[in-house]
């Protein structure tokens, strides 16, 4: 177990290296003070981090689908277009870490953020955070990381030039790497799950998981990891650990529902509830649950809570997005419950940094659902729809990241 915790700590440190820059934003307030004056849709530009990794946060009064552009391919410069965002007056200031200076002006029917870099860097990730926790601002976040072999820009820019399009080009390999999908066949071994007229839940979930694995591996786009591939009992906590050790991009747990009325039927999808998120936060901060034990980099409890909240919010948003995509695809193949997207604090959904859903494939206590789940061809068609939803989810994620 100690080795697992060590791996988890390393994983969290990698995540914290990206998100940890957020913790330095308060220290950067002086550097970005000139941005406090409102400029239409942009209220503030903030920075955190160092010469290795830097986070840029643009506070907005509206959502935007930003994209990276370049106006000088030979200089250490990154330009970000913010469509439909007003910039009625120019703003500028000193940066921090990898950003030497910045300026904001209007261009092309929106705002344009120009970042002068102190050394060669690439964009690791970009995302938009909606208003939360009493704040009315949207936050567009850009994480920068120094490229290998780049020199620090202590002198003139001419001494360490980099082609600005690299910030866009380097996203492609990251997006092309095989996504890691964890398929969790519910129950197993001495835990049979629900009982239908002819079959136990553990057998239905394993058969479906194997069918989904075959569907996903057919195209060669994914690396599939199963929490179990035979009739074995795997504790719920270990299933979470498997996902985090694999650095998973998506976790999907397969189950079959049951009820007292045989007439009740239909599939549904669960994502983590707010209560479940609170449970994770308490366990992580208290550091007393080994399966979600993480090595938070902050120096105090409040700082660690901020980092964890940011990570959890992003993970919950991505989980919810996949849940809706999943329901849209499987809803054309199988009957859904009237309230098909639900939330709960299931243990298998508790990883704070892995998007996760639990799919109830139907009611094993309903004759029609049981027949569908036990028929190989119909089960395969169902899992094909699940596979299609995974394809669509990552295709949309790629489009958003490329904008």
* The token pair that represents 229 in the structure block: 């591939």
Same domain flag for 273 and 127? no
Check residues 182 and 4 and name the one with the higher pLDDT.
182
Give the closest residue to 11 by CA, choosing from 305, 249, 295, 283: 295
* The token pair that represents 202 in the structure block: 């553990």
- Is residue 244 within 8 A of residue 350, CB to CB? The reply is no
Please compute the mean of the pLDDT values over residues 282-299 and round it to a whole number.
62
Same domain flag for 22 and 118? yes
In 150-202, where do the E strands start and end?
179-185
Q: What is the DSSP letter of 15?
A: H
Angle at 132 (CA atoms; ends 252, 128), nearest 5 degrees: 65
Phi and psi at residue 154, to the nearest 5°: -75, -25
Structure confidence at residue 376 as a pLDDT band (50, 70, 90): very high
User: Which domain covers residue 14, as residue numbers?
Assistant: 2-175
Same domain flag for 80 and 184? no
Instruction: Give the span between the Cα atoms of 184 and 390, in whole angstroms.
Output: 15
Same domain flag for 250 and 188? yes
- Give pLDDT, residue 284: 67
Instruction: Give the span between the Cα atoms of 175 and 56, in whole angstroms.
Output: 21
Q: What is the DSSP letter of 140?
A: E
| Mean model confidence pLDDT for the chain | 79
With residue 78 as reference, give the H or E element that holds it.
strand 77-83
The model's pLDDT over 150-179, given as tens digits with 9 standing for 90+, comes to 555 443 222 222 233 333 333 445 445 789
pLDDT score of 1 more than 50: no
In 8-52, where do the E strands start and end?
42-49
Classify strands 179-185 and 356-363 as parallel, antiparallel or unpaired.
Answer: unpaired
The count of other CB atoms within 10 Å of the CB of residue 6 is: 11
Check residues 153 and 287 and name the one with the higher pLDDT.
287
26-to-48, 238, 242, 315 alpha-carbon distances in Å: 8, 37, 36, 24
The model's pLDDT over 387-396, given as tens digits with 9 standing for 90+, comes to 999 999 998 7
- Is residue 113 within 8 A of residue 82, CB to CB? The reply is yes
- Is residue 272 within 8 A of residue 319, CB to CB? The reply is yes
Give the closest residue to 313 by CA, choosing from 69, 19, 42: 19
Same domain flag for 167 and 214? no
Q: How many helices (H) and strands (E) does the chain have?
A: 9, 15
Residue that finishes a domain, picked among 152, 175, 198: 175
Same domain flag for 101 and 230? no
- Give pLDDT, residue 174: 42
Same domain flag for 245 and 385? yes
Give the closest residue to 153 by CA, choosing from 104, 114, 103, 115: 115
Same domain flag for 205 and 80? no
The model's pLDDT over 114-156, given as tens digits with 9 standing for 90+, comes to 899 998 888 888 888 777 656 678 888 888 888 866 555 443 2
Residue that finishes a domain, picked among 147, 175, 203: 175
The model's pLDDT over 41-62, given as tens digits with 9 standing for 90+, comes to 888 888 888 888 888 988 888 8
Classify strands 77-83 and 267-272 as parallel, antiparallel or unpaired.
Answer: unpaired
Classify strands 336-344 and 222-226 as parallel, antiparallel or unpaired.
Answer: unpaired
Same domain flag for 150 and 188? no
CATH of the domain at 367: 3.40.630.40
Same domain flag for 235 and 137? no
* The token pair that represents 183 in the structure block: 């398929």
Place of tokens 């998506």: 250
Instruction: Give the span between the Cα atoms of 21 and 24, in whole angstroms.
Output: 5
Residue that finishes a domain, picked among 175, 209, 241: 175
The model's pLDDT over 191-233, given as tens digits with 9 standing for 90+, comes to 999 999 999 999 999 999 999 999 999 988 999 999 999 999 9
Same domain flag for 217 and 120? no
- Is residue 244 within 8 A of residue 341, CB to CB? The reply is no
HEC-encoded secondary structure of 203-272: HHHHHHHHHHHHHHHHCCCEEEEECCCCCCCCCHHHHHHHHHHCCCCEEEEEEEECCCCCCCCCEEEEEE
CATH of the domain at 24: 2.60.40.3500
Classify strands 250-257 and 179-185 as parallel, antiparallel or unpaired.
Answer: parallel
The model's pLDDT over 229-256, given as tens digits with 9 standing for 90+, comes to 999 999 998 999 899 888 899 999 999 9
Same domain flag for 212 and 151? no
Specify the number of domains making up the chain.
Answer: 2
């Amino acid at each position: 177990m100690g080795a697992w915790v060590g791996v988890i700590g390393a994983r969290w440190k990698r995540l914290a290296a990206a998100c940890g820059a957020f913790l330095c934003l308060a220290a950067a307030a002086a550097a970005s003070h000139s941005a406090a004056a409102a400029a239409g849709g942009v209220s503030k530009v903030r920075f955190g981090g160092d010469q290795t990794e830097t986070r840029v946060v643009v506070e907005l009064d509206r959502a935007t689908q930003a994209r990276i552009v370049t106006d000088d391919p030979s200089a250490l410069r990154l330009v970000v277009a913010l469509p439909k965002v007003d910039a009625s007056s120019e703003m500028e200031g000193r940066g921090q870490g990898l950003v030497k200076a910045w300026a904001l002006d209007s261009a092309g029917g929106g705002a344009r953020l120009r970042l002068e870099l102190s050394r060669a860097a690439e964009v690791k990730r970009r995302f938009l955070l909606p208003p939360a926790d009493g704040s009315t601002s949207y936050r567009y976040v850009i994480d920068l990381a120094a490229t290998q072999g780049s020199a620090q820009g202590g002198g003139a820019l001419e001494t360490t030039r980099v082609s600005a399009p690299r910030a866009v080009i380097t996203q492609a390999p990251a997006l092309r790497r095989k996504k890691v999908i964890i398929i969790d066949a519910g129950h197993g071994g001495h835990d049979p799950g629900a009982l239908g007229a002819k079959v136990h839940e553990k057998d239905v979930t394993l058969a479906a998981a194997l069918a989904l694995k075959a569907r996903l591996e057919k195209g060669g786009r994914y690396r599939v990891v199963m929490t179990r591939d035979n009739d074995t009992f795997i504790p719920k906590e270990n299933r979470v650990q498997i996902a985090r050790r694999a650095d998973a991009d998506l976790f999907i747990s397969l189950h079959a529902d049951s009820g007292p009325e045989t007439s009740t039927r239909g599939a549904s999808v669960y994502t983590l509830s707010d209560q479940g998120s609170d449970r994770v936060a308490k366990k992580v901060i208290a550091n007393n649950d080994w399966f979600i034990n993480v090595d938070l980099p902050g120096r105090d409890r409040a700082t660690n809570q901020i980092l964890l909240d940011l990570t959890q919010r992003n993970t919950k948003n991505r989980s919810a997005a996949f849940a809706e995509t999943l329901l849209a695809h499987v809803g054309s193949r199988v009957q859904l419950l009237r309230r098909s997207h639900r939330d709960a604090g299931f243990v298998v959904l508790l990883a704070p940094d892995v998007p996760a859903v639990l799919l109830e494939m139907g009611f094993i206590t309903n004759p029609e659902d049981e027949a569908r789940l036990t028929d190989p061809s119909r089960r395969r068609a169902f899992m094909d729809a699940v596979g299609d939803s995974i394809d669509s989810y990552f295709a949309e994620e790629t489009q958003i990241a490329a904008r």
